[in-house]
Structure 1
């Protein structure tokens, strides 16, 4: 029996449904980055995917569900500001300073610098009890935990306090780089972070 004959209608439908979901998420990511979450309608996403509105709502019952899935996909992709902190090919110090590397470009076809998607989402959903705001907060708390762990590896005294200073610099850079549309704006905060790390490591010695 060849490969084609082994493909059942159920498997084919499953693959089709998975492909549709990925197209929806990819379209949402492009549109959210280019024009913001609240300015993007579900019909626009369905058209860009392209899928029918019925298919879109079969995968994501509400726009909030889609936004949350979008943020979860970003978090797992490693392509966000925090992604560098889990890279196993870099040492602890390089991971921390990697927070100040130029941010990823905006949606394909644009030259805009984008800020942190979690901060952007929290700003568009300001209610602290909103599932989207809560998820953004969880990612920011995870960010400071990861930096704290890396500082502990380096032997820094008071790693939690220093981690808060580092992530405050990193989030500030992401926002200012977006507002000013300057991808290399992080060089200013990187210099400050290097001073903080140097002082902490000198103190540890």
Structure 2
């Protein structure tokens, strides 16, 4: 995932305050981190008063939870959305999740927002952990289902292995701020697919 559209230019006050708060959260939580982003910074970016902010989100944790839910409904993570592409074969979709995310040099690659939120929560945000577990399980299930569509003899094993490679690539890319690791991850995925489906699987 790359940086989201800036909320700094939003119209002050009036309608759409909740949406502006969420857009500010998407940008600031992802680029700066959840703990490093205070409520004051969110209110400033969204151009809302404390009264308006707390009318929509009684706590910062409530905003964090809604920020994550948006990735499951309205704003799917770009790499994961590759599994839904109708213009690719199932095998091609499995490889497409490893396409490096384009970012500019001024924007660090932050990886998966669910992973980041769980790490920052350090066990103190149980609802965030639950949301992340649900999302990760749904992603694994979708990879397994796609592996089955591709004709893998053991789609459960192939799907789990590809999910591990994908999650590992996201974590390493974020740690090193280097999305080139996805090229190595894709090669590893291709090797697995060659064994499971044959050398022409990704064509």
TM over 0.5: yes
Equivalences for residues 47-196 of structure 1 within 5 A: 47-76=44-73, 77-103=75-101, 105=103, 110-127=106-123, 130-196=126-192
Contact 1:126/1:133 (CA < 8 Å) preserved in 2?
Answer: no
Distance 2:114 2:80 in 1: 10
**Cα-Cα RMSD:** 2.1
Question: Displacement, 1:74?
Answer: 2.1
2:70 is paired with a residue of what secondary structure? helix
Change over 3 Å in CA distance of 1:59–1:192 after alignment to 2: same
Distance 1:185 1:138 in 2: 26
Contact 1:101/1:184 (CA < 8 Å) preserved in 2?
Answer: no
Give unmatched runs, 5+ long, in structure 1.
Answer: 1-15
Distance 2:15 2:91 in 1: 39
Question: Displacement, 1:111?
Answer: 2.2
Deviation per residue, 1:81-138 (Å, 9 max, x gap): 42222223322112211121113548xx942112111111111123287001110111
Question: Displacement, 1:19?
Answer: 1.3
Question: Displacement, 1:63?
Answer: 1.0
Change over 3 Å in CA distance of 1:199–1:29 after alignment to 2: same
Normalised by the length of structure 1, the TM-score is: 0.83
Larger radius of gyration: 1
Distance 2:55 2:182 in 1: 41
Give the total of aligned pairs.
Answer: 186
Give unmatched runs, 5+ long, in structure 2.
Answer: 1-12
Contact 1:101/1:186 (CA < 8 Å) preserved in 2?
Answer: yes
- Between 173-182 and 132-141, the greater mean CA deviation after superposition: 173-182
Contact 1:74/1:80 (CA < 8 Å) preserved in 2?
Answer: no
Change over 3 Å in CA distance of 1:45–1:128 after alignment to 2: closer
Distance 2:125 2:41 in 1: 27
Distance 2:163 2:169 in 1: 10
